[in-house]
Amino acid sequence: MEFNIRLCGEAGQGLQTIGKILLDGLAGQGWELFAHQEYESRIRGGNSYFQIAVSSQPLTCHNPRPDLLVAMSAQSWQQFGPDLAEDGIGIHPGPEDDKGGLVLDAAAMASEAGSAKMASAVVAGVVWSVVGAPLELLQKQLAGVFAHLGEEMVENNKKAAAVGYQWAQQKNINRELSPPQSPRQRMLLRGNDAVALGAMAAGLKFISAYPMTPATSIVEYIAANAEAAGIRVEQAEDEIAAINMALGAGYAGVRAMTATSGGGFALMVEALSLAGSAEVPVVVVNGQRPGPSTGMPTRTEQGDLLFVLHGGHGDFPRAVLAPGSVEEAFYLVPHAFNLAEKYQTPVIVLTDQYLADCFATVEPLDSGEITIERPKQGKPSADYRRYQVTEDGISPFVPPGSEPAVVVAVGDEHDEEGHLIEDGPTRVAMMDKRMAKAKGLAAEALEPIVQGSDNPDLVLLTWGSTWGVVSQAVADMVSEGIAVRAVHLPQLWPLPKDKLGELVKDVNVYTVENNYSGQLARLLAMEGITTLGSIKRYDGRQLEVPEVIKAAREVLK
**Closest alpha carbon to 495 in 451, 444, 541, 530:** 444
Distance CA 277, CA 257 (A): 18
Mean pLDDT calculated for residue range 331-343: 98
Distance CA 322, CA 112 (A): 50
Give percent above pLDDT 90 in the chain: 89
**Closest alpha carbon to 83 in 194, 7, 158:** 7
Q: What integer pLDDT is reported at residue 97 of this predicted model?
A: 77
SS (H, E, C) 435-471: HHHHHHHHHCCCCCEEEECCCCCEEEEECCCHHHHHH
Mean pLDDT calculated for residue range 143-153: 90
Q: How far apart are the first and last CA of the chain?
A: 31
Distance CA 140, CA 126 (A): 16
**Closest alpha carbon to 490 in 459, 515, 516, 520:** 520
For residue 184, give the 3-state DSSP assignment. Answer: coil
CATH number of 449-556: 3.40.50.920
What burial letters (b/e) apply to 528-551, b meaning 16+ CB within 10 Å? Answer: ebebeebbbbbebbbbbbeebbeb
Mean pLDDT calculated for residue range 76-100: 91
Distance CA 290, CA 294 (A): 8
Q: What are the Cα distances from residue 68, in Å, to 36, 126, 534? A: 15, 10, 33
Answer whether 484's CB lies under 8 Å from 456's CB: yes
Q: What integer pLDDT is reported at residue 405 of this predicted model?
A: 95
**Closest alpha carbon to 519 in 451, 460, 463, 459:** 463
What burial letters (b/e) apply to 290-310, b meaning 16+ CB within 10 Å? Answer: bbeeebbbbbbbbbbbebbbe
Q: What integer pLDDT is reported at residue 542 of this predicted model?
A: 98
Domain boundaries, the chain: 2-171, 188-369, 376-444, 449-556
More confident call, 262 vs 145: 262
∠ CA 246-251-256, nearest 5°, is: 35
Mean pLDDT calculated for residue range 474-498: 97
Task: Decide the pairing of beta strands 68-71 and 2-11.
Answer: parallel
Q: What integer pLDDT is reported at residue 5 of this predicted model?
A: 98
Of 108-117, 414-423, 490-499, the poorest mean pLDDT is in 108-117
Mean pLDDT calculated for residue range 117-121: 89
Answer whether 350's CB lies under 8 Å from 288's CB: yes
Residues 6 or more apart from 174 whose CB is under 8 A from it?
129, 130, 132, 168
Checking if the pLDDT of 14 tops 90, the result is no
Q: What integer pLDDT is reported at residue 112 of this predicted model?
A: 83
Q: What integer pLDDT is reported at residue 44 of this predicted model?
A: 76
Distance CA 134, CA 136 (A): 5
pLDDT band at residue 498 using 50, 70 and 90 as cut-offs: very high
Within this chain, domains 2-171 and 449-556 share the same CATH topology: no
Q: What integer pLDDT is reported at residue 370 of this predicted model?
A: 95
Checking if the pLDDT of 45 tops 80, the result is no
Using left for φ > 0, alpha for ψ between -120 and 50, and beta otherwise, residue 458 falls in beta
Largest Cα–Cα distance in the chain?
85
Residues 6 or more apart from 313 whose CB is under 8 A from it?
269, 270, 273
pLDDT band at residue 113 using 50, 70 and 90 as cut-offs: confident
Query: What does the DSSP 8-state code read for residue 394?
Result: P
Which residues is 347 bridged to in the sheet?
Answer: 283, 319
pLDDT band at residue 230 using 50, 70 and 90 as cut-offs: very high
pLDDT band at residue 116 using 50, 70 and 90 as cut-offs: confident
- Torsion on CA atoms 175, 181, 186, 188, rounded to nearest 10: 20
Distance CA 299, CA 285 (A): 17
**Closest alpha carbon to 552 in 463, 464, 473:** 473
* Residue pLDDT, tens place only, 288-299: 999 999 999 999
Mean pLDDT calculated for residue range 138-159: 91
Of how many residues is the chain composed? 557
Domain 188-369, what fold? Rossmann fold (3.40.50)
Q: What are the Cα distances from residue 365, in Å, to 24, 31, 354? A: 18, 18, 21
Mean pLDDT calculated for residue range 171-183: 86
Which residues is 437 bridged to in the sheet?
Answer: none
Q: What is the mean pLDDT of the chain?
A: 95
Mean pLDDT calculated for residue range 461-477: 98
Answer whether 341's CB lies under 8 Å from 290's CB: no
Q: What integer pLDDT is reported at residue 86 of this predicted model?
A: 92
Distance CA 336, CA 104 (A): 49
Q: What integer pLDDT is reported at residue 221 of this predicted model?
A: 98
CA-atom Rg of the chain in angstroms: 26
Q: What integer pLDDT is reported at residue 388 of this predicted model?
A: 97
Of 39-53, 157-171, 464-478, the poorest mean pLDDT is in 39-53
Give percent above pLDDT 70 in the chain: 100
* Residue pLDDT, tens place only, 297-319: 999 999 999 999 999 999 999 99
Task: Decide the pairing of beta strands 359-362 and 187-190.
Answer: antiparallel
Say yes or no: domain 2-171 is CATH 2.40.50.100. Answer: no
Checking if the pLDDT of 114 tops 80, the result is no
Q: What integer pLDDT is reported at residue 94 of this predicted model?
A: 87
Cβ-count burial of 480 within 10 angstroms (0-12 exposed, 13-18 middle, 19+ buried)? exposed
